[in-house]
Amino acid sequence: DILLRVFAPFVTDTSPKTQYLTPEEEEMHMCDIMMKHQVVEQNINTDGLPGYERRHYWLRGTLESPSDDDASSSIELRVRELCSPEQGTGGRVWHCSVILARWLHSMGESLLRGRRVLELGAGLGAPGLVAGLFADEVVLTDFGDVVHNLQYNVDLNTPSIHTKSQASIRAMELDWNRCDEYEEPPADVVVAAEVVYSVEMVPALVATLLRVLHPGGVCYLLQDASRTGFEEFKQSLTARGMVIKVLPIPPALSTRQAPGKSEDDNRGSDDEQDIAMDDDNYVLHMIQQ
């Protein structure tokens, strides 16, 4: 079992160039701030602690916490969420990425074991971090200021991941508009969550996907199929000889319900708005030659 915790950092400086504690400094206090509820008051006074939990998810696709016996073999993955204008959409956990992370956890042994995996538009990196539990190598990619926090999350979680695998995990910048400069070895598996959202970005995304994916490789894309540009994205891939198939998503993997709470307890939660601002029209696509 995997527990994904999302926390907001403790701010050490209120100046415009806000500074945050390092993973090592935060590690000293994390055990004191790990709440056991998914929704936590966001205006909590941290009293000098480095951060506080905003919510958590069991990634095994169930709403219940594991038994004591199961919990003993569980590991925790933690991601730092920075909701700031500089981070844009890449500074928060989106529900789509949680679903993809859950699916990768359920399928990782058969799909990712021994593979080289790359995540496109990784944001905070939850799916890619889960992939690290199975793959030999994982590269989490994004662009701009997002990459710094992405590498932070990689550094924070590598010790936990290495209790299950010895995967090489790192973050790197990948500008889709300059994908011809990407010189890393191609990936056996590419994963992505909700990366198509406009017609204008389709050519660059398609070129990037073809650049980073090994011939004969496969891409697993979880996407709101109603998003602007997605039909154009599929048409562009098909024109280049790619085959797109829809895979089923078990309903338990896509629920928003918090562990130990009823649907009524969660309906209308303000925290739910922090998970995602989109509709749950997600479709899992397998893309390959």
The backbone torsions φ and ψ at residue 166, rounded to the nearest 5 degrees and listed phi first, read: -115, 35
User: According to the model, what pLDDT value does residue 267 have?
Assistant: 34
Q: Sign of the C-alpha dihedral, residues 102, 83, 140, 217?
A: positive
Q: Model's pTM, two decimal places?
A: 0.78
Contact in structure between 97 and 77 (CB atoms under 8 Å): no
User: According to the model, what pLDDT value does residue 33 have?
Assistant: 34
**pLDDT tens for each residue of 182-219:** 999 999 999 999 999 999 999 999 999 999 999 999 99
> What three-state secondary structure class fits 100?
helix
Q: 2: which strand partners? A: 75
User: According to the model, what pLDDT value does residue 241 have?
Assistant: 96
- Which value, in Å, is the radius of gyration of the alpha carbons in the chain? 18
Amino acid at 158: T
The total number of residues written for the chain in this structure: 289
Mean local confidence (pLDDT), 232-260: 82
User: According to the model, what pLDDT value does residue 45 have?
Assistant: 33
Percent of the chain with pLDDT over 70: 66
Which pLDDT band holds residue 276 (cuts at 50, 70, 90)? very low
Amino acid at 177: N
Q: Sign of the C-alpha dihedral, residues 155, 169, 184, 100?
A: negative
Q: Is 213 exposed, middle or buried (0-12, 13-18, 19+ CB in 10 A)?
A: buried
* CA–CA separation, 155 and 147 (whole Å): 12
Which pLDDT band holds residue 251 (cuts at 50, 70, 90)? confident
Which of 162, 113, 119, 111 is closest to 136 using CA atoms? 113
CA dihedral (12, 14, 16, 21) in degrees, to 10, reads 10
**pLDDT tens for each residue of 106-138:** 899 999 999 999 999 999 999 999 999 999 999
> What three-state secondary structure class fits 282?
strand
Taking phi over 0 as left and psi of -120 to 50 as alpha, with beta for the rest, 144 belongs to: left
Sole residue written with tokens 């797109």: 244
Say if residue 225's pLDDT is above 80: yes
**pLDDT tens for each residue of 55-76:** 677 776 443 444 555 544 567 8
Considering the chain, what is the average pLDDT of its residues?
76
User: According to the model, what pLDDT value does residue 84 have?
Assistant: 59
The backbone torsions φ and ψ at residue 224, rounded to the nearest 5 degrees and listed phi first, read: -70, 110
User: According to the model, what pLDDT value does residue 19 have?
Assistant: 44
Least confident of 25-29, 171-175, 247-251: 25-29
